Amino acid sequence: MKGAWKILLVLVLLGGAAFLLRPGHRGNDGEDNAKVWFYDQSTRTLYPAPRNAIPPDTTRGTTNAPGVRAVVVAFHGEENNPKKRKIAYLETYGPELKNLLDRVQAAQRAKTPFEGKIPDRDGSFVRENTLVRRIDEPQWSASSTEEGRKIMIEWQEWVGPDGKPPVVCLP
């Protein structure tokens, strides 16, 4: 069962990249208004961002502490209570992946085909350039490393009052 959770989590994490890397996507699939949580590292606050926002988000925070994607969880029945939500971990992209995704998005906005090479969303390039960290630790780890994988799944071991793990919360 834990193996299935790990696979599911990796698929969810790479969903943002997959959304952007999907050939022929033009942004008209009904998800234009979907939101995800981002974390302003300078003010240490959550804010909603479009699902296709690419971290780091330099429109929030500072150059040294830009906004990054936050995986936010809560226990069943507490999802709508901001005081009960908890940041499971933070996620951002390395410069090479961010640049690639920015160029893919620019092509989509221009309604032109992306001419560059698109890496496999499950491949090593995406995993090595997706960085994760715990909210209370400064060090980022590639999602492809043992530490990165641990960071991405450890929240599933947390147990709520009902004995169940938390669920992912969206804005």
Please check the confidence at residue 3 and state whether its pLDDT lies above 60: no
64: confidence class by pLDDT, cuts 50, 70, 90? confident
Widest Cα–Cα separation across the chain: 51
Which pLDDT does position 31 carry in this prediction?
A: 60
Q: Residue type for 107, please? A: A
Taking residues 59-73, report their average pLDDT.
85
pTM over 0.95: no
* CA neighbor of 66 nearest in space, from 87, 96, 97, 93: 93
13 CB burial (10 A radius; 0-12, 13-18, 19+): buried
Task: Output the pLDDT for position 61.
Answer: 65
39 φ/ψ angles, rounded to the nearest 5 degrees: -125, 120
Q: Where are the domains of the chain?
A: 2-23+33-169
pLDDT digits (tens, 9 = 90+) for 10-35: 333 434 444 444 444 444 444 668 99
